[in-house]
Structure 1
Amino acid sequence: MQKFMDWMERYIVPVASKIGAQRHLVAIRDGFATIMPLMIVGSFGLLIHNFPIDSVKAMFGEGGALHWLDVIALNVYAGSMFLMGLFAAISIGYALGKSYDVDGFSTGLVTMASSLILTNMMAYKAPVTWGGFDLGTVGWEPGIFAKWLGSAGLVTILITTLITGTLFAKIVKSGKLNITLPDGVPPAVARSFSALLPTAVVLVLVGIVFAICEAFGYADVYLHVYNGIAKPLMVFSNSLPVLLFIILLQQVLWFFGLHGSNILAPVINGIFLALTAENMAAIAAGNTEGINIINSQFLDSYVNLGGSGLTAALVIVMMFKSKSQVNKQIRNVAGGPAFFNINEPLIFGLPIVLNPIYIIPFIAAPLVSACIAYAASVAGFVAPASAVVPWTCPPIISAWLATGQWQGAAVALVNILVGVLIYLPFVMYADKKNLELEVAEA
């Protein structure tokens, strides 16, 4: 064990630390964290539309007493979660700009405009009517295929945002194209003029890229990126082996004191969150086919119960089996936060970090729980998670809200009970050692 820990600390931990501090990955993580309230509110709008109780859901339909509430809920969903790609372009661009010490808002606007340029807006010709007369199709009318502003276009938007945001920030930082105004000019006006030429350079370059794509028959950039990169990547990620690898990597990073959830957030948000968004879009359209079992909410509902490592089970075992004073004190401090999936007091206070006693259950419990939940979903016992629930939502309740079924809560409860069995012998052994030390010191 010591040789393995030494090897990890020498070769893996430094690489993971660099990845966790890489500005583009940090921008993706922070950008998604910024728009998370929009996605959560949009998810609750969809939950109302797809209410788990049939008698109440019928009241939301056409002619129902609560149909007006369904209209509100669906429009809230459409105006928030359905446009997550567009919001991500702004928020990630903002975070990337701030990391380069340039104006974040200007960077976010440039990355959003760049993403819109590639949507081929001018390809749509609109029919024109006036006074009841059909005037035919007159010129170009800007139009956007809204699907590309949601999860389907997320990969294209992420690539575009990272490239154009970096380019814009570096041009601004160089100062070669900045227009400097006198000191008496209001700051907002000075910033806008300073960003004028860098903005023009970036947007023109994006326009040139689109023109080249169109010349070679790839005018619908989003469609080709989706079919060539995004969809195969999502299909590959929507598998149990990939999920288990992500969980294993997350737990190993935590064990060495690195925030595994934050380091892997770009992957989880960029791919697994898109799978959740696909589920939501399918549910909103009344379609139950092609629903993704594995997605970001699958992790929060069935795996990260009490926090990474299924530590809700660890707290329960400590509540009933701890006899040493140190374990009792840690249990009392960590019990409350664990109810809301905050487990840093346990990870760093128990500690779990670099503790060879806890590495086995800390890794095994979430892996086993993922397999149980996956099997229950494949068997049709529970529907796949199709709503984004706040990660601080208490375990069991989170699974019920994410699936809209009591079966989701039941699977989460089973996972916690199995986690208790996995943690039990290790907690008892560690508690016994602590008790012997306390007796010896006394």
Structure 2
Amino acid sequence: MSHHRTPLGSTFLISIRESFIALLPFILAASFISLILALFEVASVKDPLLIQITHWLGLFSFQLSQLFPLLALISLSFHFAKHLHLSAMVVCALALSSLLALHIPTFNNGSNTNYITTLLGDPRAVILPILAAYLLRPLTAINAWKLVTGKLLSSYLKQHLNSLIPTLVCFVLLLVAGALMTLVATWTLAPLIETFSNEDLSAQLFVRTLLTHLFWAIGVHGDNAYLLLTGMENGAQLLAPQLTTGQFINLFVIFGGSGATLSLLIAIFIGTSDPTSRRLAKIAAPFALFNINEILIYGLPIVFNPRLLVPFIAAPLVNFLIAYAAIATGYFSFNGHPFPWITPPLLNAYIASGNISTALLQVGLILVSTCIYLPFVKRLTLMPERHDVDKELVKRIQLNDDIGRVIERQYLQKQSESLRAEIDLEKTIKDVLSGDLQLHYQPKLSLETNQVVGFEALLRIIDDAGTIKGPYFVEAFQRAGYSHIIDRFVIDTVAEDIASWEQEGFNPKISINLDPNNITDPQLLGTLIDRLGSYGPRIEIEILESAFMLELDRIENSMARLKALGFSFLLDDFGTGFSSLSLLSRIKVDGIKLDRSILENANELKGRILYRQTCYLCRSLGFNLIAEGVETAEQADFVKASGVQYVQGWLYAKALPAAQAKAFSLSRKPSS
């Protein structure tokens, strides 16, 4: 059962870990500045310039610490949004705006323009982005709230448009949740604080240790939050002769920083082989010696990490109880010498007491805390199946991100291609309008008689310079949905040329190419019948096999109407793309045109075998065969030997204007 619950927990932990790892450069910089300030304090600098620098660094360090909750809010928003497949901007805006709204003063409290400086100390600053992400995710899945469902818009644009209603609802829910947190905290903590203030000093210190570490566990500076919450500062009170409570905490409870993380470092070095944890521990070690441990707290992280929260809280509490009991025996004495909070363990013990026994007590506490951390650190690395799930989750998240980027990139590419196509189409239309669009006729000859038996009508355009060009524009017109315009031009021009030839006593068969999509169009079908219906027995319509693949029933209905008027049909470009042999048994065409590409392959043995077998199959099924692209006498002999009856190609003639086509046809007739 736990295996099925792992992905959700892993998503949470991965998001937390990445959120605070992203802040490591900031944490390192802030820690380094804190270390410099502490060293200046120990050195008691007298130089006026150094004093000014120290003052400036102190103010800068304070401002950095104030900025950290905002950076944490942004980072948490981004990483939770990424792993839950949400908009990072929406999650961040929700978390920040709800936090601001919760701190806006009421009219009764008067105007407070500095409330932003106080809201960043609110523990909810690190809770709201997580809550926003987990609330927004199910809300965005509600289909009824989606404003855009079409496929024409960018997925990125569609995502944000569809986030409108869920965002508004989530904002309201966050305000309610934030207000409830305040009420719960007030109801539960106020009585505790009142009771707590009346307890003896040891109990107050124990509760303070517990609360500060609970705050650290959710990413909030523990001491600052404690003072903000209780308004109590008991660090200067004497717990034992010449030992203040503040010194007691620094000496025996939080060596290495909050959580007694010096012991965590030791546990990592001796209890794990995980390279990432060990590398981070090496980076953190120099700072931890001076009791600066933000790198561990936010880098591992410890924040929101259920795997390390128990020892992080338990170790300082156990240290407190042992040290308090030891000092209560009266065995340990202190001399009252002050020491800075950055003084390394053992050294601070010797300064405060002047004897080795206090330092040995620290060593014992460090060992106890290390023992507390060690099983949790080992468990952290003795969970290969959990680690594998984490890695698989990261892969899935990365895959989803990659797919999202590809989809968006493809959309943008399509938009770019569409724009280019529109520009090209506009240019093509101008070329067609400025040029002379014509029909030329390529002769089709019988291999048996060597005479012309018909023509294929082919589009040509003559530009301003008189250059004849092929129908390069047809594909652009088809993509733009203008193919019916071209087809009407072909139908009208063929009708005019046939009528003209008929008056001259010349009555050839004409093959025309039509867009497969237009064969089933009632309007174009009507135009075809009106203009060429009376010449039906002399008209062949060439259809690509792709048309039969898509709409065989509709194509056959249109073919039946035209066959009733005498039209015949040819399967065009057979052998290109994929040719379905099963299609040959179903379609009702009169002949098949073999594409020039399979004839070109006949230069090799396998190509010749394929060509011959294709011809044999088609003839066995009762189809006439027309070979396209015959350019040499050898090819003509080969296709004739393969059973082909009719040929087209440059060996005989290119596509010719109507008058030249007629002349060519007449020239091939035997002299009487």
* Superposition TM-score, scaled by structure 1 size: 0.47
Structure having the higher strand fraction is 2
Which of the pair has the greater relative contact order for Cα pairs under 8 Å at 6+ separation? Answer: 1
